[in-house]
């Protein structure tokens, strides 16, 4: 967007934000226009480093959103971001544009230090590196993404939005494990919680759906994706969450066990002779729904149940039983609950999971209306009947929008300030 000054130079309003979510072998990106918070383009580079790398890019500025695909080896994150930048440039959305205000990065672990979105400096990056031992799977990929983006646009503010930040308001009695304090502190062992950007966004949207301010409501958020976590949010602040030092704790997930007796790990080591790395892979990648029945996609599990598959049915029951335990526990933690909110892939799409998780909880004021629950929609919506004491809702999450909002709030330019460039150089 541009305006023209008296002198004839154009003032470019830098109001675009690029959101980057860098995983170990993938980069997801979205370019947003913060004038109306609309998406200009979305994309994904996956299987980075393999022969079968793939880039999917969808520009959203024209009429029909048509996805372009590139296949063939993309060697590393730098090459992935370069390829994404080329695709964006082909749509007139080049990352060299003066309209780009900032790059917002999803960073998984911010420890106790990062309680807010933070402009990335060398010192901040060093601190994110110091947290690698508590997030060995995630933070290294996030750091690579940041370095790559910095190399691409060294002049631009880069902002880290931490998955853990929303949970830093948890009281000490919820965040501490009951283990030796010196050992815990020496190794920074405590409950950090993850998916915080989603829990923050969804709990705020739920308050909006109820027509009330976030400070007025207590909400239980159930983020049920391939990874899954629950949080108890009192008056807009997180007071408890199910993931812990790492994303392994809590609910049954697609491939993670969630809660187990920690002694299972000693047992596997001493009796089954497994190494620490093997146990890590077992609990993070071969457990949860996939460990229980061989499938981690809830659609496939429901299909198998409809065909009478008993293993799939047991996996579903274990998944739902764990959910119920957390709803009950967090009701007790909050004292008064105004809404239970489902979000993410399973939470937004699986009516049977929502129905089963709430069934039998009438004593807690929780009821689901079968008709409302069956409605498919991309909008926030209530699925409890009018008479229910506690609202049950489905609120689609939008972590990228939340990252863009937080990034822009931190570094976005207030109007009418802007970068002045001669008219001919304006990139639309």
User: Residue from 140, 225, 294, 328 that binds ligand AMP (CB under 6 A)?
Assistant: 225
For the bound state, the minimum distance from the C-beta of residue 368 to ligand AMP, rounded and expressed in Å, comes to 16
For the bound state, the minimum distance from the C-beta of residue 342 to ligand AMP, rounded and expressed in Å, comes to 11
The C-alpha R_g of the chain, in whole angstroms, comes to 23
How many residues of this chain interact with ligand AMP, rule: CB under 6 A? 12
User: What is Dmax (Cα atoms) for the chain?
Assistant: 80
Strand partners, 239: none
Nearer to ligand AMP, 64 or 307 (CB): 307
CB 41 within 8 A of CB 88: yes
Positive or negative, the CA dihedral 280, 285, 290, 294 is: negative
Tell me 214's DSSP state.
Answer: G
CA–CA distance, 337 with 42 (Å, rounded to integer):
36
Under the binding rule (CB under 6 A), the answer on residue 26 touching ligand AMP is: no
Nearer to ligand AMP, 297 or 369 (CB): 297
Nearer to ligand AMP, 29 or 114 (CB): 29
Nearer to ligand AMP, 175 or 358 (CB): 358
For the bound state, the minimum distance from the C-beta of residue 343 to ligand AMP, rounded and expressed in Å, comes to 8
CA–CA distance, 96 with 265 (Å, rounded to integer):
50
| Run of H or E residues at 312 | helix 310-334
Residues 270-309 contacting ligand AMP, CB under 6 A:
296-299
Q: Which residues contact 406 (CB under 8 A, 6 or more apart)?
A: 104, 117, 159, 161, 197
Q: Spell out the SS3 assignment of 50-95.
A: CCCCEEEEEECCCCCCCCEEEECCCCCHHHHHHHHHHHHHHCCCCC
Choices 16-24, 107-115, 200-208, 346-354; region in contact with ligand AMP by CB under 6 A: 346-354
User: Residue from 9, 61, 150, 226 that binds ligand AMP (CB under 6 A)?
Assistant: 226
CB 78 within 8 A of CB 148: yes
Catalytic (active site) residue 76: no
Choices 199-207, 308-316, 345-353, 418-426; region in contact with ligand AMP by CB under 6 A: 345-353
Catalytic residue among 33, 91, 96, 163: 163
Cα of first residue to Cα of last residue in the chain, in angstroms, is: 7
What SS3 state is found at 347? helix
User: Residue from 43, 145, 345, 412 that binds ligand AMP (CB under 6 A)?
Assistant: 345
User: Residue from 346, 368, 390, 411 that binds ligand AMP (CB under 6 A)?
Assistant: 346
Residues 228-257 contacting ligand AMP, CB under 6 A:
254
For the bound state, the minimum distance from the C-beta of residue 419 to ligand AMP, rounded and expressed in Å, comes to 37
Residues 347-366 contacting ligand AMP, CB under 6 A:
349-350
For the bound state, the minimum distance from the C-beta of residue 296 to ligand AMP, rounded and expressed in Å, comes to 6
Give the CB-nearest residue to ligand AMP.
Answer: 345
Residues 253-272 contacting ligand AMP, CB under 6 A:
254
CB 279 within 8 A of CB 268: yes
For the bound state, the minimum distance from the C-beta of residue 346 to ligand AMP, rounded and expressed in Å, comes to 4
User: Residue from 31, 102, 202, 344 that binds ligand AMP (CB under 6 A)?
Assistant: 344
For the bound state, the minimum distance from the C-beta of residue 286 to ligand AMP, rounded and expressed in Å, comes to 15
CB 45 within 8 A of CB 80: yes
Nearer to ligand AMP, 28 or 191 (CB): 28
What SS3 state is found at 306? helix
Q: Which residues in 167-189 are b (16+ Cβ under 10 Å) and which e?
A: bbebeeebbeeeeeeeeeeeeeb
Nearer to ligand AMP, 102 or 292 (CB): 292
Q: Which residues lie near ligand AMP (CB under 6 A)?
A: 225-226, 254, 296-299, 344-346, 349-350
Q: Which residues are catalytic?
A: 163
């Amino acid at each position: 967007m541009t305006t023209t000054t008296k002198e004839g130079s154009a003032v470019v309003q830098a109001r675009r934000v690029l959101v980057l979510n860098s995983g170990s072998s993938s980069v997801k990106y979205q370019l947003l226009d913060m004038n109306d918070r609309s998406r200009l383009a979305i994309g994904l580079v996956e299987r980075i480093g393999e022969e079968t790398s793939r880039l999917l890019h969808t520009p959203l500025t024209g009429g029909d959103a048509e996805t372009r695909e590139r296949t063939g080896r993309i060697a590393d994150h730098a090459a992935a971001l370069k390829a994404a930048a080329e695709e964006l440039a082909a749509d007139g959305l080049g990352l060299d544009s003066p309209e780009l205000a900032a790059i917002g990065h999803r960073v998984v672990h911010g420890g106790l230090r990062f309680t807010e979105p933070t402009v990335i400096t060398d010192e901040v990056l060093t601190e994110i590196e110091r947290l690698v031992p508590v997030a060995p799977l995630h933070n290294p990929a996030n750091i690579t993404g940041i370095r790559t983006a910095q190399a691409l646009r060294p002049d631009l503010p880069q902002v880290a939005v931490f998955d853990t930040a929303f949970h830093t308001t948890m009281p000490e009695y919820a965040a501490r494990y009951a283990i030796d304090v010196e050992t815990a502190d020496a190794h920074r062992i405590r409950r950090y919680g993850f998916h915080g950007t989603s829990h923050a966004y969804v709990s705020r949207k739920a308050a909006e759906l109820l027509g009330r301010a976030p400070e007025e409501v207590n909400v239980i958020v159930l983020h049920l994706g391939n990874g899954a976590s629950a949080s108890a949010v009192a008056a807009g602040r997180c007071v408890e969450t199910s993931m812990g030092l790492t994303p392994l704790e809590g609910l049954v997930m697609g491939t993670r066990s969630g809660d187990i007796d920690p002694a299972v790990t000693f047992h596997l080591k001493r009796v089954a002779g497994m190494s620490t790395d093997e146990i890590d892979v077992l609990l993070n990648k071969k457990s949860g729904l996939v460990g229980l029945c061989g499938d981690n996609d809830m659609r496939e599990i429901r299909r198998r149940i409809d065909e009478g598959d008993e293993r799939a049915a047991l996996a579903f029951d274990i998944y739902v039983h764990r959910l119920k335990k957390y709803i009950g526990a967090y009701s007790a933690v909050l004292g008064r609950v105004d809404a239970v909110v489902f979000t993410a892939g399973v939470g937004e799409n699986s009516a049977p999971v929502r129905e089963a998780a709430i069934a039998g909880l009438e004593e807690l004021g929780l009821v689901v209306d079968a008709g409302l629950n069956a409605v498919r929609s991309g909008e926030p919506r209530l699925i409890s009947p009018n008479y229910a004491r506690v609202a049950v809702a489905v609120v689609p999450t939008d972590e990228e929008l939340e990252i863009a909002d937080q990034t822009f709030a931190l570094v976005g330019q207030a109007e009418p300030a802007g970068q002045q460039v001669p008219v001919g150089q304006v990139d639309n």
